[in-house]
Amino acid sequence: MLSETFSPLIQLKAVSKFYQTGETRVCALSDVNAELNRGDFVTVMGPSGGGKTTFLNCVGGLDTPDEGEIVLNGRLMSGMDDNALTLLRRKEIGFVFQFFNLLPTLTVWENVELPLLLAQWKQQDDPRIQELLEFVGLETRAQSFPAELSGGQMQRVAIARALVHRPSIILADEPTGNLDSENGAKILDLLNQVSTEFQATIVMATHNPLGASYGNRHFEIRDGRMTEHTSSKQP
Ligand code: ADP
Ligand code: MG
């Protein structure tokens, strides 16, 4: 459909999100407006507690805004119930987390296969799993368990898992936050490769100063307010 092809992949219109803890009301997102396009590699920086995770979770349908609208690939998320959001996530979105979130009782292969099983898309020995393990350089570790891997390797598995259903969007929340700088840099390089080779739109929240040099668009969220910087340098 013409309008879908040329419309932004992700649109946020006046999005706000509040959390009430006892007497205190925190504004985690405040009137956020943004248009993210196919192929964008977006970095989201800013202080801890600024609203980065809330932003990613709202875009990924893990959380819902209190005000405003999010349109994802032409579909308005606001009116969707949990089932519809789950189906949308399984089709369109891959998540990468700071603490990898692999299932410890499943092998590397099974962890990567899991989104296909959940979406009931699995063919016998889907070739995508092997291809992705090669892409992240872990083809020899297919039968290992997460506990047998280093942090950097675990995050590689998580990236393969996030890609296996060919999502249009990868949401990465501090993907290098639990890695040393050398492994962190390798993960950033890998995400850069994902951006070019899979044409996935990447939205990455990061504290990593090196992370800011990646990506073509740079946002900062502070006290729930999001601003876009024209260069990767943050004030
Ligand atoms: P960041 O990822 O930038 O560190 P968050 O999005 O996690 O920021 O948090 C933004 C603000 O919202 C913070 O003040 C945080 O304490 C608050 N917050 C986030 N999630 C919750 C929650 N589930 N309940 C209450 N407050 C929350
Ligand atoms: Mg966070």
Cα 195 from Cα 204, distance rounded (Å): 11
What global pTM score does this model have?
0.93
Over residues 112-146, the pLDDT tens digits come to 999 998 887 766 678 899 999 999 999 999 999 99
pLDDT band at 3 (very low <50, low <70, confident <90, very high): very low
Diameter over CA atoms, the chain: 54
Determine which residue's CA is closest to atom 21 belonging to ligand 1: 19
Q: Is the CB of 49 under 6 A from ligand 1?
A: yes
Query: What DSSP element (H or E) covers 227?
Result: strand 225-229
The DSSP 8-state label assigned to residue 28 in this structure reads E
Query: What DSSP element (H or E) covers 187?
Result: helix 181-197
Ligand 2 centroid distance, CA of 52 (Å): 5
Residue with tokens 């910087």: 229
Q: What is the pLDDT of residue 59?
A: 96
| Amino acid code (one letter) for 36 | L
Over residues 139-172, the pLDDT tens digits come to 999 999 999 999 999 999 999 999 999 999 999 9
DSSP string across 78-121 = TT--HHHHHHHHHHHEEEE-TT----TTS-HHHHHHHHHHHTT-
- Please state the atom number of ligand 1 nearest to the C-alpha of residue 173: 2
Q: Is the CB of 28 under 6 A from ligand 1?
A: yes
Over residues 66-106, the pLDDT tens digits come to 999 999 988 999 889 999 999 999 999 999 999 999 999 99
Determine which residue's CA is closest to atom 17 belonging to ligand 1: 28
Q: Is the CB of 51 under 6 A from ligand 1?
A: yes
pLDDT band at 1 (very low <50, low <70, confident <90, very high): very low
